[in-house]
Structure 1
């Protein structure tokens, strides 16, 4: 029986896929993009109002959900015995991916191109690295449990490989000024990344909830002798 946490990755995938195609449909409907001139990039579809407002809200909420998924995954891997430094490396790439997604939504291509491209780098390139590190982890640690059916692992490997191929093709085609083909690679890559996040539903299936505990840090001074010493005269 799936725990409620398993619904979060699935909801993120559906939310993101439906959202970006809604933005695309609005951009075509109000002629912000012209399909007769070529297939547009995702960012171009979200550069003009009113769809730019939806685009920003969509990516901000998606980034928040992605960051929460990465944090839950970090604690799950920690409980499975994954080393601290490698687990933190994985978490860092995941959070950078989420941050880049939010930057892409808030700094539209037509308004702040350098910042937008920086966010896109974190969202696509670092995001792909996040899932490769997940695969590397399970390849190095054979003792880690493999939840779900046996084809989940090969599916993740195939999606990551295809995502990497599309990323390289996107950059090359853009440099060759084949913008429509490059944009098609970008759309396909985005769908694959959403699907990879959605597959965390399998890993979270056994989680019924999570608990956040705070640990006291080292103190440089001794604690107060009694609560009376904390009182201040008025």
Structure 2
């Protein structure tokens, strides 16, 4: 099964991109948005049913850690955490990276469930987590790979520079998106938002290169530190090779 694990980020990226553009298409067909008035924000496309239902479902499937229908962002971040730990990354920087990834996943879920026209402050909070904390997740990993020269660098030599270009473009477009929105250039700002979303999905998909180095996992079960103790004949730990 581990040979297919590298496909999880690719499936996440592909399904999210396909789902978002399906929402856009439905919004145009249902006349929920009018392209003659300007290019719409992603959130505007997902404001009204039935496309709002698909919008919520797509983002929930990609972010919620207990969903099994699609490879969720949260599980990818957790797998990446354990992979970096096995590579010798210290606990505190690894946990910072993990929590930024989980906050990005949480923000994605908030964006999908709290539509902009119904809960604007909550929606914008989720958007901040999804976009700005999301790109921070990848910047931290780039910085880590630059500081720790002994970290494995899977894939072709151009993967690292490609990530740097994507992260830089994503950050510049995020700043431009905010500035253009403040200047009431909403259509251009919306285009920046769409490009940023696609770049973030591509960055998550590129984690497939790193996961291609995974060949197994060991699950270790140990008794807790509380008053409950296992029976005398029970093992204190169980190692299961998956």
**TM range, smaller chain:** over 0.9
Over the aligned positions, Cα root-mean-square deviation in angstroms equals: 1.5
Distance 2:194 2:51 in 1: 17
Cα shift readout 1:89-136 (whole Å, capped 9, x = no counterpart): 000000000000000000001111010000000000000000000001
Which residue pairs with 2:41 in the alignment? 41
> TM-score w.r.t. structure 2 length?
0.89
- Is 1:175 aligned to residue 193 of structure 2? no
Contact map agreement 1:3 1:206 (CA 8 A) in 2: no
User: What is the correspondence of 1:77-226 to structure 2 with a 5 Å cutoff?
Assistant: 77-219=84-226, 221=227, 223=229
Alignment check: 8 A CA contact 1:16 1:58 kept: yes
In 2, the alpha carbon distance for the partners of 1:48 and 1:91 equals 33
* Total equivalences in the alignment: 225
* Structure 2 counterpart of 1:11: 11
The verdict on how the C-alpha distance between 1:197 and 1:226 changes in structure 2, with shifts beyond 3 A counting, is closer
Judge conservation of contact 1:5–1:209 (CA < 8 Å) in 2. Answer: no
The alpha-carbon deviation at position 3 of structure 1 amounts to 1.6
Shift of residue 210 of structure 1?
Answer: 3.2
Please give the alpha-carbon distance, in whole angstroms, between the structure 2 residues aligned to 1:129 and 1:210. Answer: 28
- Specify whether residues 222 and 15 from structure 1 end up closer, same or farther in structure 2 by C-alpha distance, changes over 3 A only: closer
Distance 1:146 1:25, change over 3 A: same
Q: What is the CA-CA distance between 1:207 and the residue it aligns to?
A: 1.6
Q: Does residue 76 of the first structure (1) align with residue 83 of the second (2)?
A: yes
Give the drift of 1:212: 3.6
CA gap of 1:222–1:172, structure 2 versus 1, over 3 A, is: closer
**More helix per residue: 1 or 2?**
1
The equivalent residue for 2:240 is none
The residue number in structure 2 matching 1:67 is 74
8 A Cα contact 1:63 1:101, kept in partner: yes
Report if the CA contact (8 A) 2:223-2:230 is conserved.
no
Q: Which residue of 2 aligns with 1:24?
A: 24
TM-score of the superposed pair, with normalisation by structure 1: 0.92
Instruction: Determine the C-alpha separation between the residues in 1 that align with 2:145 and 2:156.
Output: 15
Structure 1 residue 224: deviation in Å?
A: 7.2
Higher RCO (C-alpha 8 Å, min separation 6): 1
Specify every segment of 5 or more residues in structure 2 that has no aligned partner in the other structure, as ranges.
65-71, 234-242
Q: Which has the larger radius of gyration?
A: 1
Instruction: Give the distance between the partners of 2:16 and 2:211, measured in 1 at CA.
Output: 19
Moved more, 140-149 or 200-209: 200-209
